[in-house]
Amino acid sequence: MEKSVRIDKWLWAVRLFKTRSQATDACRAGKVKINDDTVKPSRELKTDQVISIHLGPITKTVKVIQLLEKRVGAKLVPDYMQDLTPAEEYHKLELIRENPLAKRKGRPTKRDRREMDEWFGWED
């Protein structure tokens, strides 16, 4: 019989979330889905299942290769999951990073204002 692991524990173990409680909260908030069905944190996970996780502006899609309960090093993560996320999702992150408004906090300086004008194409 194939063993199974709680989904919140697996998401934490493969470093998709920094803490297990963050993984649990994401499941409860409906941000984690298996086959387009939202899952509870206690949902048992099996190999070869495809999980989609809404992480900020992107939706990450991963396939379970192996199950594990203990957190592993970042170099070992590819042994346990396969990233199926389309390149367009990562492109969204790049666009956000390039946006001068994303870095700025508070009132813009004159330099910030010029960068924003250039980025939005409002130059005179």
* DSSP secondary structure letter of residue 89: H
Asked whether 100 and 115 are in contact (CB, 8 A), the reply is: yes
Q: Which two tokens stand for residue 105?
A: 């906090």
What average pLDDT score do residues 19-31 get? 94
> How high is the pLDDT of residue 1?
43
- Whole-structure pTM over 0.85, yes or no? no
Q: Which numeric CATH code is attached to 1-85? A: 3.10.290.10
> How high is the pLDDT of residue 56?
83
Show me where the domains of the chain are located.
1-85, 87-124
* Confidence label for 22 from pLDDT (cuts 50, 70 and 90): very high
For the stretch 37-72, pLDDT in tens is: 999 999 999 999 999 999 888 899 999 999 998 999
